[in-house]
Amino acid sequence: MPKVTIDGKTIEVPQGTTILQAARMIGEEVTPPAMCYYTSLKTSGGYCRTCIVKVSKMSEANPNPIPKPVASCRTNCEEGMEVMNYTSPEIIEARKGVVEFLLANHPLDCPICDQAGECHLQDLSYEHGSDDTRYEFERRKFKKIDLGPFIQLHMTRCILCYRCVKVADQLTDHRVHGVLNRGEVSEISTYITTAIDNDFSGNMIDVCPVGALTDKTFRFKSRVWFTNPVSAHRDCEKCCGKVTLWYKGDDVLRVTARKDKWGEAEEFICNDCRFEKKQTLDWTIEGPAKISRHSVISANHYEKMVEPSLFKLNDIKPFEDQ
């Protein structure tokens, strides 16, 4: 059981735990952001470099620091390891550079993008990026590829995190899309235009950290912050059937998997639940889904007042983050 210290906080973790996982065990205040790593997808991570940290002490046996920043999602913890994340100005500066590179080719079309409001790249650039761009060249352009009736591909927004490729590899029986070409011209494509219609292909939408893969049935229907997330479930023979319904008025506009506090799907759901069941009658409603108070989705949402006689004065706490 190696003991690892991240930003001055020590935790004992099982052998083979990565620095990122250890940081998540400690808490949000030391966790580096991650754009390509996804806990439930094997071999994910190592592409985006936003989770870089400084290892100031390799281990008890070898107390030398690692000279360059390392990707925390791909580096295992060792006994006595000391890691610096937000306490290292060098790392904050380096991460700013990483964000700048990710945004170099990312279009500024958030006002149009359906992902806006729940986009990890928006959060990342807001929290870790600089507020101006130095990029003066034309951004990448692609030929439009139709992925079928359910998934909308916007290749210009892609940051090449490979999460959707891992979903297709690990969740569906065969993968029909992938990353073509290399370097600056690499792109997500089906090569020979075919519709992606596998039963679990819709999960590509949930794992996509940006708006490159979005729900075609939800396209331009509403901005996410005008919809109300509600937890619901149904008996489904293909998947767990536990979802979040996104309501506007009485209509279910969108069905997604439930997300945990790291923005990752708790359990993957099938296309039937996601695209076909958009009636309240199809679902057993559990109640409103919890949203962080700092998320734009919580804007203009009011939680129901509790009957004053039902709680004691001592129970009243200031607002807490969910």
Partner 1 sequence: MQALTKRSKLVSNKKLSFIEKLYLPAILGGLKITLQHFFKKKVTLKYPEVKREFAPVYRGMHVLKRDEAGRENCTACGLCAVACPAEAITMEAAERMDGEEGLYREEKYAAKYEINMLRCIYCGLCEEACPKDAIYLTDRIVDSEYTREGFIYGKDILVEKVDDRIDITKRKKKKGE
Name the site residues for partner 1 (rule: CB under 8 A).
109-112, 116, 219-223, 225-226, 296, 299-300
In sign, the C-alpha dihedral spanning 166, 168, 171, 173 is negative
Smallest distance, partner 1 to C-beta of residue 131, A: 12
Q: Whose Cβ is closer to partner 1: residue 215's or residue 272's?
A: 215
**Residue 155, phi then psi, degrees to nearest 5:** -65, -30
CB nearer partner 1, residue 231 or residue 298: 298
HSE of 9, CA atoms in CB hemisphere, 13 A: 16
Q: Which is nearer to partner 1, 300 or 309 (CB)?
A: 300
Least distance to partner 1 from the beta carbon of 218, Å? 11
For residue 312, give every residue at least 6 positions away whose Cβ sits within 8 Å of its Cβ, in sequence order, or none: none
Residue nearer to partner 1 on the CB measure, 86 or 226: 226
- Give the nearest distance from C-beta 321 to partner 1 in angstroms: 20
CB of 300 to partner 1, least distance (A): 7
As measured in angstroms, the least distance from the Cβ of 144 to partner 1 is: 11
162/218 with CB nearer partner 1: 218
CA distances for 62 relative to 5, 67, 180, 288, angstroms = 15, 13, 41, 50
Residue closer to partner 1 (CB basis): 68 or 143? 143
For residues 255 and 244, give the distance between their C-alpha atoms in angstroms, rounded to a whole number.
6
Q: Tell me phi and psi for residue 296, to 5 degrees.
A: -65, -20
The CB-of-108 to partner 1 minimum distance in angstroms stands at 9
Nearer to partner 1, 13 or 224 (CB): 224
Gap between the Cα atoms of 226 and 216, Å rounded: 18
Q: Least distance to partner 1 from the beta carbon of 136, Å?
A: 17
CA distance to 184, 311, 313, 314, per residue, from 317 (Å): 51, 11, 9, 8
CB atoms within 10 A of CB 68: 9
Using the minimum distance from each CB to partner 1, give the nearer residue, 144 or 312.
144
Torsion of CA 141, 143, 149, 151, to 10 degrees: -30
What distance in Å separates the CA atoms of residue 42 and residue 55, rounded to the nearest whole number? Answer: 24
Structure tokens at 112: 């149009």
Strands (E), 174-310: 178-180, 187-189, 213-215, 228-233, 242-248, 251-257, 284-288
Min. distance of Cβ 223 from partner 1 in angstroms?
4
